[in-house]
Structure 1
Amino acid sequence: MVDGGTVVWVGQEGAADALEPDHTVDLRDAWLAPAFVDAHVHATSTGLALTGLDLTGVPTLALALQAVERQARRARGGAVLGTGWDETTWPEGRPPTAAELDRASYGGVVYLARTDVHSAVASSALLAACPEAAALPGFLPDGLVRQQAHHAVRRTALAAVTPGQRQDAQQAALDRAALLGIACVHECGGPDISGEDDFTALLALPHPVERIGYWGELDGVERALALGAVGAGGDLFADGALGSHTACLQAPYDDADTAGHAYLDAEQVARHITTCTRAGVQAGFHAIGDAALQAVVDGLGAAAQVCGADALRSLRHRVEHAELVTASQVTVLATYGAVASVQPAFDARWGGPEGMYAQRLGPERAAGMNPYAALTAAGVALALGSDSPVTPLDPWGTLRAAVRHRTPASGLSARAAFAAHTRRGWRAARGDAEGVLG
């Protein structure tokens, strides 16, 4: 029975008739279940991919450049923003260059984020509009930007999006979520992602899909609350991403002479968690590599010494991604009641013996990625999401990927996966009453 938009009772048909409902709808044996929660999205970038240039699945660099040219013609001198390219699947084996983007766009402003959104290529016009990027870590003169250089270039690129374009993109993303049965999304914003105006505009946009906001700024608890966020976390970056060679590892990559990049150390993590805990606010961090995760668990331990383990557990501080996580780190996450916000479609797209994980890490380390069964067995609560536009909004595909993990025994049961993509999405945001029928 539904009262005022809320399911207030579930039971047998005969008992329902005795309640004398005002109106009865025959669902004809359909399965009725709680709606999905996507625990990690970027709505504006998702909408821009839906309404603009999405290079996901484009099979060659040459075809990607042709797509840029078509979009530049449609933009009529406006900026071209795209996402989704993956050089590991291209026969050319490399990203575009600034010179190639210049030719394809007739000298226009072009920003193309890699599929993991932790590096991008920029045209000469965009780089000229962001001169400070050349002095920042991660800048390469051929137009490829990573780390802080990427953050600066992304801010400049998104500044070219008008308020009207932004609203259209956000509307498109939320409409797609609703179409797919997603009733709530966790928006992961921050100063290095999309900016304050973007974040507040999304939270204020009239739409039936609920938005729970996280603001990822170090020591930014007061700012997060002022912006309407429920937590000071989400994409507060402890490292980058494997595909861009910026996830921070304890041992070097197999295919590059680097172990990635640390954006936070354990002391910074501890300070942030302590400040959040004292304020009664949920903290969180983006951490993919095992070295970044070690900084997070060391920070949790140090904060527990100050605030007490019970205080940490009560707030359910979050870790986004937790992909290359060790057994000892899993134990610490469970000890302090941390929630792991994970994206099973990452394993579906990049796992397996021939996938990007194996290219970057070698087969042995790659096989240990995304150990959902081990996390669950240890008592770490999971909340499932997409990180859209990194992977698309696709709740049924997410469930399928969680159950059919590419590493045997690392996946979830169908029941556990469904709970992690519905009720536990609410619980990850400390909403214990939602996500259950009856």
Structure 2
Amino acid sequence: MTERTNRTVLLRGGNVYSPADPFATAMLVEGEQIAWVGSDGAAEAYADTADEVVELAGALVTPAFVDAHVHATSTGLALTGLDLTGCPTLPEALDRIAAFAAGVPAGVLIGHGWDESKWPQGRPPTLAELDWATGGAAVYLSRTDVHSALASTALRALTAGLAELPGFHPDGPLSRDAHHAVRAAALAHLTPEQRRAAQLATLTRAAELGIGALHECAGPQISSEQDLAALLALAAESDGPEVFGYWGELDGIETARRLGAVGAGGDLFVDGALGSHTACLHAPYADAAHTGTAYLSAEQVADHVAACTEAGLQAGFHAIGDAAIGAVLEGVRAAADRVGLARVKAARHRVEHAESLDDKAIAAFTELGLTASVQPAFDAAWGGPDGMYVQRLGADRAAALNPFAALLRAGVPLAFGSDAPVTPLDPWGTVRAAAFHRTPEHRISVRAAFTAHTRGGWRALGRDQDGVLVPGAVASFAVWDAADLVVQAPDDRVAGWSTDPRSGTPGLPDLTPGHPLPGCLRTVVRGRTVFRA
């Protein structure tokens, strides 16, 4: 343990983001709880008895962020290994792969992040090019959306029956079942030490970014039971961030309980991803003559939701395309008919990603009490007139994706995450992406986005009291070097900034694109400091 849990810490001389006092400049922490928030003058009464006094020097104190969708081992492997995110060309990617392979003497090499949609060549490496770059080593390289991957000849040879599986390609990326098989073969060659190092790298990076809690979305097609068990054990023996596990397996309720997961959901795939042409659509892709891949039917969704509701466990599904989301909504409604709408709503079942939503689907989210666990960084990465979404769907369908404002207007609970390593752990960048959505009508206020990335993650777990800095709340917070605290006018989400303290609204950092993001000075989880700059 880094600190005993009954310490009293006084923070003063800053700006405390608290609904209990919009003008608060100080905060007292006793053990794992916030004891008081208020002014510097009133804080003097606590200064002599506190075990520690932190002089904030104008810094901002906020609730710690919650990343509501991560894959810790894969994220750690990208942080510590080969990450092709942002690689500008195919030749550059091959050079990076070759350099990485030359420095790793043995074992399966694992990397992530290539995106052919942004390369001038417009294609991924061929199998021959990959084998040349890797010198014949066994290599697994997931695409940026983690729904297809490059696998070298040596790795393919380690995967029994690969050529017979759906999604197999003799020369190009593998998707669907073939992708799941080579990923399982690659991850099976990780040693416990490698897995622990990767998971620790993710937890460390999260703490450095002011993230106090993570929702790990595990499952048999994305990781393994051993992987989730190891992560939860690592989180339990460390001071933070906290980790809440989801196990995405059909009929996986007992496995979820045995592993200590909080839900039988997360990445329980109803479809794939737009970038890999595996998201399930009603109409064909603009750049492919098919509608993607359906992994689960509405009937299977109904059976799973009904079973989870009866068991008192949260269900959740990965659904991106409009046809996949339609199957989820049909299935949840059928489950509500079986076990009762009130019970289904009370369970707060989740839909991960939920990108392609029309007004009818949004209304169904409200009707069924579903939480939308979404990733604003997807729009920042692939939205806009020249982005991958337009390539895959055309301009009209692309402009309808990720309608955060409409979801909020309908009262749908939002929980923000990164889906790391698909997009990086970057909480303030995520808030910015939602506030400055590439489609203006989908933008939400910075305050609403910040709430979705803090309190929204706790509400998705059914813990409505957490994620705020008020007396009696859990002391999980972050301290930020953040100048220019501002308040957004409610009628102007883009340029309506104000510094007028008479608004009575706590200020947040200016996140206008191009403005520097806040730097984390300290992260505290349940009263324990887990990061200090």
Short-chain TM bin = over 0.9
Give the structure 1 partner of residue 344 of structure 2: 312
Give the structure 2 partner of residue 7 of structure 1: 34
Give the structure 2 partner of residue 415 of structure 1: 447
- Residues 211-226 of structure 1 correspond to what in structure 2 (within 5 A)? 211-226=243-258
Relative CO higher for 1 or 2, CA cutoff 8 Å, sep ≥ 6?
A: 2
Distance 1:402 1:267 in 2: 33
Matched, 1:32 2:64: no
Distance 1:300 1:411 in 2: 28
Residue in structure 2 matching 1:179, options 208, 222, 229: 208
* SS in structure 1 at match of 2:103: helix
| 1:66-103 deviation per Cα after TM superposition (whole angstroms, max 9, x unaligned) | 11111111111222111100001112211112221211
Distance 2:444 2:371 in 1: 16
Distance 1:21 1:253 in 2: 65
| 1:300-323 deviation per Cα after TM superposition (whole angstroms, max 9, x unaligned) | 110110111111111110000000
Matched, 1:351 2:383: yes
Give the structure 2 partner of residue 375 of structure 1: 407
Give the structure 2 partner of residue 18 of structure 1: 45
| Alpha carbons 2:116, 2:122 under 8 Å: kept | yes
- Residues 279-294 of structure 1 correspond to what in structure 2 (within 5 A)? 279-294=311-326
Distance 2:395 2:173 in 1: 28
Matched, 1:90 2:142: no
Could you tell me how far 1:8 is from its partner in structure 2?
2.4
Distance 1:322 1:13 in 2: 44
Distance 2:116 2:190 in 1: 26
Give the letter for the 2:380 counterpart. Answer: A
Give the structure 2 partner of residue 100 of structure 1: 129
| Alpha carbons 1:124, 1:143 under 8 Å: kept | no
Could you tell me how far 1:17 is from its partner in structure 2?
3.1
Give the structure 2 partner of residue 296 of structure 1: 328
* SS in structure 2 at match of 1:212: strand
Specify which structure has the higher proportion of helix.
1
Give the structure 2 partner of residue 72 of structure 1: 101
Specify which structure has the higher proportion of strand.
2
Give the structure 1 partner of residue 298 of structure 2: 266
CA-based RMSD: 1.1
Distance 1:190 1:98 in 2: 28
* SS in structure 1 at match of 2:196: helix
Gaps of 5+ in 1: none
Distance 1:135 1:333 in 2: 38
Distance 1:133 1:384 in 2: 36
Distance 2:392 2:355 in 1: 13
Distance 1:293 1:311 in 2: 21
Could you tell me how far 1:216 is from its partner in structure 2?
0.3
Distance 1:257 1:273 in 2: 32
| 1:91-129 deviation per Cα after TM superposition (whole angstroms, max 9, x unaligned) | 221111222121111111011100000000100111111
Could you tell me how far 1:28 is from its partner in structure 2?
2.0
| 1:20-65 deviation per Cα after TM superposition (whole angstroms, max 9, x unaligned) | 6424322122211100000000000000001000000111111111
* SS in structure 2 at match of 1:387: coil
TM-score w.r.t. the length of structure 2 is 0.81
| Alpha carbons 2:124, 2:172 under 8 Å: kept | no
Distance 2:58 2:94 in 1: 49
- Residues 100-249 of structure 1 correspond to what in structure 2 (within 5 A)? 100-205=129-234, 206-207=237-238, 208-249=240-281
Matched, 1:339 2:371: yes
Distance 1:318 1:160 in 2: 32
| 1:293-341 deviation per Cα after TM superposition (whole angstroms, max 9, x unaligned) | 0000001110110111111111110000000112111111111111000
Distance 1:336 1:10 in 2: 37
| Alpha carbons 2:66, 2:417 under 8 Å: kept | yes
Give the structure 2 partner of residue 405 of structure 1: 437
Distance 2:214 2:54 in 1: 28
Gaps of 5+ in 2: 1-27, 471-533
Give the letter for the 2:285 counterpart. Answer: Y
Q: How many residues align?
A: 438
Distance 2:146 2:352 in 1: 15
* SS in structure 2 at match of 1:409: helix
Distance 2:292 2:114 in 1: 20
Could you tell me how far 1:12 is from its partner in structure 2?
2.4
Distance 2:259 2:32 in 1: 28
Q: Percent identity?
A: 62
| 1:149-207 deviation per Cα after TM superposition (whole angstroms, max 9, x unaligned) | 11111000111111111111101111000000000010000000111111110011033
| Alpha carbons 2:271, 2:279 under 8 Å: kept | yes
Residue in structure 1 matching 2:80, options 45, 51, 67: 51
Give the greater-gyration-radius structure (CA): 2
